[in-house]
A and B are shown apart, each in its own frame.
Chain A
Amino acid sequence: MSEVIQRDTMLSYITGSVESSAESVAIRAINERGREDLENTPFPTRKDEDWRFVDLKSITKSQFCKLEEANAADVGDISDHYLPEAMNCRLVFVNGVYSEELSSVEDLPNNVIVGNLAANADNNSVKEHLGTITNYDDDVFAPFNDAAFTDGAFIYVPEETVVRTPIHILNVFTDAEKAFYATPRLLYVGEMFSKSTIIEEHIGLADNQYLNVPVTEFKMFTGSNVHHARIQRDSKKASHVSRPIAILDKNAEYHSYTICLGAKLFRNDPRVIQNAEEVNFTVDGLVLIDGDQIADTHSIMDHRFAHAGSHQLHKVVVNDSAHSVFNGKIFVAKDAQKIDSFQENRNLLLSENGKVNTKPQLEIFADDVLCSHGATIGQLQDEEVFYLQSRGLTEQKSRELLVYAFALESVESMEVESVEKLLLNEVIEYTNRDNK
């Protein structure tokens, strides 16, 4: 008989119990399911293959409370963070709580819904899809969100409808006396041949510790198309564990770009699941970290049917003693022929103490498949630095430009001008920090 070792659960790091206060029956049912999963799933340790490289201390050495007990500061004026392109198409969540006052949704095409989940709990699409898309085995974080969320963002784009204004989902986190947890939630339902652009942001307004565990679900019907930019600028003391997942019907396109700048610990598990033939998707990432930041991406591109094109460019810049982990799984099922999948992980190490772990993982059971993958870890090339310097640029400026050039490609896929500008400034700030 083997010894049963009592392992900690997620709840070990949460003060008090996670009780549902959701009004909607549908949400309460998901809460209930989440709580059960939580109680039955041990919290990961480094012995778990998927967590081998990551130090989870920033979660396990703390206790996180409900927002109500944290004595959180007022949000103040955050209009600097509004996107000019999305002035009338913005949902704001403060510490995970919907703010009707700061949100602004006007002039959308007929029958498009951009609103909060609680207010739309009776919507058929919400009832049908909420909580049905997330699919993470042995996970504690998606269940934690399931157990604790009471509200979130809901976006519904009807058949043949194009939303031209980018939709801005702005999550801000304020200072607080105690470390709290937040469970932002986003459900997107794109009906046949619909199209939109989503900018999902996470911004820490202060320098405090909190735990941000968002779940985003994208249900993409036939021929629908989404451009999903995710910008993570959490506080440098925060822990952020993300569960973004998309499921694609025939001819659907889902293109996601995750930019990681903030958080002490960032763990991101994007998954794209093919639900029919002929889909197209992107799971790009850009990570700029320094200090003692950890950024870990575990992605799955799950090809289950024939004729898919998928693309993953994951670019990473590491400075100081920061640590990046990349594990990119590409699954191709037995009958999923004619898959064209591209994966590349490029790492730029700026310091001696920085660390990079990278592991592509291909599991291909079909034979007529084109899969390319590669990973590089490099430093700035001395010859490049000298070339620029010989033209009169200081060594610092030369290095700065080279890092900027490295990151540029990813930034240019944002498609929304103000977001590109904002990110370029972030890149410049990052490269400046590098040289102090």
Chain B
Amino acid sequence: MLEIKNLHAKVEGEDIEILKGVNLKVNAGEIHAIMGPNGSGKSTLSKVVSGHPEYEVTEGEILFNGEDITELDADERAHLGLFLAFQYPVEVPGITNKTLLREAYNTIARANDREELDPLEFEDYITEKLDVIEMKDEFLSRSINTGFSGGEKKKNEIFQMAVLNPVLSFLDETDSGLDIDALKVVSDGVNKIANDENAIVMITHYQRLLNYIKPDYVHVMMAGKLIKSGGFELAEELEANGYDALEKELVLNGEAQ
């Protein structure tokens, strides 16, 4: 589904290279986790994949279902089924959640020759989706993320994911800021959305999320590269020994450049 090959990216118009050769392959039905220290480039990877204009790909490619998407705008990537749950969801005063989601849902439907939903149909559809993460319907008529608590913002991202039903989702630290109850609800929601036809890449610092959403693969990102991949046990190892130990081990084995 997604194949990232030797991806290099820098800040547009500046000489700051952040991604320094990322390789990642994600198949339908899989759940991946990316862990790594602060500033290693995890968020940047998710933004580059979703088409943030602040970054420029200087080398490598991003293939989505075989098509190179590096030149596509963010909305065109969303039409193909890409979704990013932001680490810091943006507040947009004056536009309600519902307005955004109906516009987004119908734009994506149009781009894929699917039936659009009229306001009444959409109302039913969206109300049903509220249950996925136990969200109160008053959030629909509130301005996007405006005045939401940290946890509510994260929940709202997953709610949007449920409504837009993407093929591939990057969840950037969706677990940070959630208390244990909210974490359970959000994880349940993600598990309900996950199926054989879609895929999820979670970015996190904590193993606790992975206890609720079981990843098939865990990757470690450091200094702009995925330096090690493994199964769930890699997350446990990181939790126990930290990134420094891993880095030393890789150096000893001559694996790190």
Contacts and interface: CB of A to CB of B under 8 A. Distances in A.
Interface stretch (B45-53, B133-141, B209-217, B247-255): B45-53
Given A388-B100, A401-B103, 19 more contacts: A382-B53, A382-B54, A384-B90, A386-B54, A387-B144, A388-B95, A388-B104, A389-B74, A390-B51, A390-B74, A390-B83, A391-B78, A391-B164, A392-B78, A392-B105, A397-B107, A401-B99, A402-B94, A408-B94
A422 interface: no
A1 B235 CA distance: 92
A393 interface: yes
A405 B164 contact: no
Contacts of B92: 384, 387-388, 402, 405
Nearest to B86: A387
A413 to B, nearest CB: 14
A186 B52 CA distance: 54
Contact of A391 (B53, B73, B143, B160): B160
5 A-B pairs with the lowest CB-CB distances in the bound complex, closest first: A405-B94, A392-B78, A387-B90, A391-B104, A389-B74
Interface of A: 381-384, 386-395, 397-398, 401-402, 404-406, 408-409
Interface of B: 50-54, 73-75, 77-79, 83-84, 86, 89-90, 92-95, 99-101, 103-105, 107-108, 111, 143-144, 160, 164
A402 B101 CA distance: 15
Contact of B53 (A381, A386, A392, A405): A386
B160 to A, nearest CB: 7
A398 B73 CA distance: 13
A215 to B, nearest CB: 35
Contacts of B74: 386, 389-390
Contact of B95 (A381, A390, A395, A401): A401
Contacts of A409: 94
Contacts of B51: 389-390
Nearest to A406: B94
A405 B100 CA distance: 12
9 contacts: A384-B92, A388-B95, A390-B52, A390-B74, A390-B78, A392-B78, A401-B99, A404-B94, A405-B143
Contacts of A393: 75, 100, 103-104, 107
Contacts of A408: 94
Interface of A is mostly: helix
A390 B84 contact: yes
Contacts of B79: 392
Given A394-B107, A401-B95, A383 B90 contact: yes
B101 to A, nearest CB: 8
A387 to B, nearest CB: 4
A391 B165 CA distance: 11
Nearest to B54: A382
A123 B94 CA distance: 47
Given A383-B90, A401-B103, A394 B95 contact: no
Contacts of B89: 387
A386 B90 CA distance: 9
Contacts of A402: 92, 94-95
Contacts of A392: 75, 78-79, 103-105, 107-108, 111, 164
A307 to B, nearest CB: 32
B87 to A, nearest CB: 12
A389 B73 contact: yes
Contacts of A406: 94
B100 to A, nearest CB: 6
Contacts of A401: 95, 99-100, 103
A389 B75 CA distance: 5
A67 B141 CA distance: 51
Contacts of A404: 94-95
B204 to A, nearest CB: 20
A388 B108 CA distance: 13
A386 B54 CA distance: 10
A403 to B, nearest CB: 10
Nearest to A403: B94
B72 to A, nearest CB: 11
A383 B87 CA distance: 13
Given A402-B92, A404-B94, A405-B92, A395 B103 contact: no
B97 to A, nearest CB: 11
Contacts of B73: 389, 395
B175 to A, nearest CB: 20
A410 to B, nearest CB: 11
Contacts of A405: 92-95, 143
- Tell me which of A386, A391, A392, A397 has the highest count of chain B C-beta atoms within 10 A of its own C-beta: A392
A385 to B, nearest CB: 9
Given A392-B107, A393-B103, A386 B93 contact: no
A352 B86 CA distance: 30
Contact of A394 (B75, B90, B101): B75
B40 to A, nearest CB: 22
Contacts of B78: 389-392
B75 to A, nearest CB: 5
A386 B104 contact: no
Nearest to A409: B94
Contacts of A389: 51, 73-75, 78
A404 B143 CA distance: 13
Contacts of B99: 401
Contact of A397 (B52, B94, B103, B105): B103
Nearest to B160: A391
Contacts of B95: 388, 401-402, 404-405
B47 to A, nearest CB: 8
A401 B111 CA distance: 19
Contacts of B94: 402, 404-406, 408-409
